Amino acid sequence: MYKEKRISRSELVPIRGINYHVRIWQADAAATSAGPPQARPAPSSGRRVSEPHAVGNVGVPLVLVHGWMDVSASYQFVVDALSDAFVEGRTIIAPDWRGYGKTGTLGADNFWFPDYLADLDFLLDHYAGDQPVDLVGHSMGGNVAMLYAGVRPARIRKLVNLEGFGMPATRPAQAPGRFAKWMDELKSLHRGEMALKPYKDADGVARRLMRTNPRLGQDKADWLAQHWATPDAAGQWNILGDAAHKITNAQLYRVDEVLEIYRNISAPTLAVEASDDSLGKWWQGKYTLAEYHERLKAVPQLATAVVQDAGHMLHHDQPDPLARLIENFLDPETADKA
């Protein structure tokens, strides 16, 4: 099984009534066991604090946010691939979004995208105070990161978007059908028709991960399976993602609003793609890379990069080249020392 170079610790932070699981890597914590999550006091009513909480190092905090049906541990391979010069003096923070991993849901039967922005805002209050952070987001997390950076531009020093493409444009005429579909799917969820498939054992979870991503090696798949799923009392392994995440968003995706938010991003932004066109595979011409690239023109300070021999899970496929890209963009001086 894959062996971590840098061991994280876990904390549970009360955020908007939910115990948020947050994974933290620090240069001085390499020998610390991950252990059970440690509870932390609640942040103060969402207001900014004058000093960062729990960020003991002098460097800019690096915040990593994961994608749909993923977990914070997904970043382990990239964290391990970062150079010692880059990690020294930095705190690296990765939450499990609500309804994923070890983070609760408050009993929600569906999830609203703005909640991710608000959760991130509260988390940054808690861990960084007024200090700007470097923010990296993958897939859904990349979409959250892009929107958050445009809504709270002063809170982001630099931004890295890993295959956070957004969604196809919608039309107002789609609204009636979208709301109807949302309600129908809610009923299906409550009838138990949208439950996620359990697996017989951790090996079954690892095979599932490798089937979805053929580039994922057995050692990494075995390691990820232990964090992506958990056994129940009957011994079956269940994915750590709430089935309610499968429900269609009732709100239309309004590209005009998204572009206005992109135009408000003040942080230098790096948009990273994999060499495989996962966007074309998903949408079959309904939304293309060319359309995504056109949207990116709204971002004021934009750089782009492509990771070769990688698919959508590029942080699993090519963690070393991706780590170099992130380092070179976020901190060129320490990258030169690596």
Which CATH number fits the domain 9-169+253-337, given the four candidates 3.40.50.1820, 3.40.190.10, 3.50.50.60, 3.40.1280.10? 3.40.50.1820
- Pull the structure tokens for residue 59: 């460097």
Give the pLDDT score at 327. 97
Give the pLDDT score at 185. 98
Check pLDDT > 50 for residue 30: no
Q: What confidence tier does 140 reach under pLDDT thresholds 50, 70, 90?
A: very high
Q: What confidence tier does 86 reach under pLDDT thresholds 50, 70, 90?
A: very high
* Nearest residue to 322 (alpha-carbon basis) of 104, 85, 79, 159: 79
Give the pLDDT score at 42. 55
Q: Within 10 Å of residue 3's Cβ, how many Cβ atoms?
A: 7
Check pLDDT > 90 for residue 138: yes
Check pLDDT > 60 for residue 34: no
Measured CA to CA, the distance from residue 245 to residue 139 in angstroms comes to: 14
- Give me the residue label for tokens 């809610």: 186
* Domain parsing of the chain, residue ranges: 9-169+253-337
Distances (CA, A) of 265 to 47, 261, 292, 299, 323: 22, 7, 17, 6, 23
Q: Which tens digits make up the pLDDT trace of 246-257?
A: 999 999 999 999
Residues 308-336: what's their mean pLDDT? 93
- If DSSP codes are grouped into helix, strand and coil, which group holds residue 124? helix
Q: For the chain, give the percent of residues with pLDDT over 90.
A: 88
Q: Are 93 and 169 in contact (CB under 8 A)?
A: no
Residues 8-35: what's their mean pLDDT? 82
Helices (H), the chain: 76-81, 84-87, 113-128, 140-151, 175-190, 202-212, 218-228, 255-263, 278-283, 289-296, 314-317, 319-330, 332-337
Query: What mean pLDDT value characterizes the chain?
Result: 92
Q: Which tens digits make up the pLDDT trace of 187-231?
A: 999 999 999 999 999 999 999 999 999 999 999 999 999 999 999
Measured CA to CA, the distance from residue 316 to residue 314 in angstroms comes to: 5
Distances (CA, A) of 203 to 43, 210, 308: 39, 11, 29
The predicted model scores a pTM of 0.92
Check pLDDT > 50 for residue 33: no
Check pLDDT > 80 for residue 52: no
